[in-house]
Copies of this chain bind each other. A is one copy, B any other.
């Protein structure tokens, strides 16, 4: 079984981003900037945010941190977002989700300038994605495609099953796989799907994004399947994915580990997106040239 290592692929993507920033920044006399907003004290979010800031530093992106109390209030949060929209040092704005109760997530996300929406969650970017136009794309699905491309998988005509239909992962991933650049046949499954086992057993590629620890078991896959595990679950035994890795190991053609798989790709893609937004802001590329 081939282990699809997020570590080496992610390293390759970061090296590319770092190199490109180094090559271009002297000419435009400014490095890319990412504003990271964390509201409240969710421990997992704190870890994510720290990892993102560290990764920025590594590749030459300046990060600007905004740690806000959980009771900041909708208006104040949107006021900050508007200031960052107007701030020329800031190319990307990352609003760490989930937001504490009492804040309207959609209203906050929609306040972000689509050109600085490095998480690809603004309706305009999601719409451009749906229409097959270039856009800032959600980091996890975009990073997933980078990994597949790194391992030279050709998905044209392949049966892909996407488990989970979040706006962050499942739905945009399905749209990207189905697109004319990928040409996969995509089945979108979720909690209401009836014959899931049967559907999965026909899949060449299975993408898991449901947040259920060790959900996918050997009886649900065919031998030559490729398993892309996007789930990150905290259990008593530590982090694990949506696939039962130990049980599946050696029984499929290839699989991503958790941790050390797609999670790393997500952060690397955030760096790539921030660089893309910067290049666009600097007039180095047009909207149609986004990666």
Given A123-B131, A125-B127, A133-B123: A188 in contact with B189 (beta carbons within 8 A): no
Copies of this protein in the complex: 2
For the complex, count residues of A whose C-beta is within 8 A of B: 38
CA–CA, A126 to B124, complex, Å? 8
Chain B residues with CB below 8 A from A188, complex form: 174, 178, 185-188
Q: State the Cβ distance, A259 to closest chain B Cβ, in Å.
A: 28
Q: Which of B125, B171, B180 contacts A178 (CB 8 A)?
A: B171
* In the complex, A246 has a CB within 8 A of chain B: no
Contact A183 B190 (CB under 8 A): yes
Which residues of chain A from 176 to 202 have a CB within 8 Å of any chain B CB? 178, 180, 183, 185-190, 192-195, 199
Instruction: Kindly list chain B residues whose C-beta atoms are within 8 Å of the C-beta of A125.
Output: 127
Among A122, A123, A178, A192, chain B packs the most CB atoms within 10 A around the CB of A123
State the CA gap A123–B123 with chains docked (Å).
7
Contact residues in B for A124 (Cβ distance below 8 Å)? 123-124, 127
Provide the bound-state CA to CA distance between A19 and B125, in Å: 37
Residues of B within 8 A of A167 (CB): 130-132
Given contacts A171-B178, A190-B183, A192-B156, A130 and B127 within 8 Å (CB-CB): yes
Whether B130 contacts A130 by the Cβ 8 Å rule is: yes
Q: Which residue of B lies closest to A106 (CB)?
A: B133
- How far does the alpha carbon of A132 sit from the alpha carbon of B171 in the complex, in Å? 10
B residues less than 8 Å from A192 (CB atoms) = 156-157, 183, 185
Measured between beta carbons, the chain B residues less than 8 angstroms from A131 are 106, 121, 123, 126, 167
Is A286 an interface position by the 8 A CB rule?
no
> What are 26 A-to-B residue pairs whose CB atoms are below 8 Å?
A123-B123, A123-B127, A123-B130, A123-B133, A124-B127, A125-B127, A126-B127, A126-B130, A127-B129, A127-B130, A129-B130, A131-B167, A156-B192, A157-B193, A159-B195, A165-B178, A165-B180, A174-B178, A174-B188, A183-B190, A183-B192, A185-B188, A185-B190, A185-B192, A186-B188, A188-B188
Which 5 residue pairs of A and B lie closest in terms of their CB atoms, listed nearest first? A127-B127, A123-B127, A126-B127, A183-B192, A187-B187
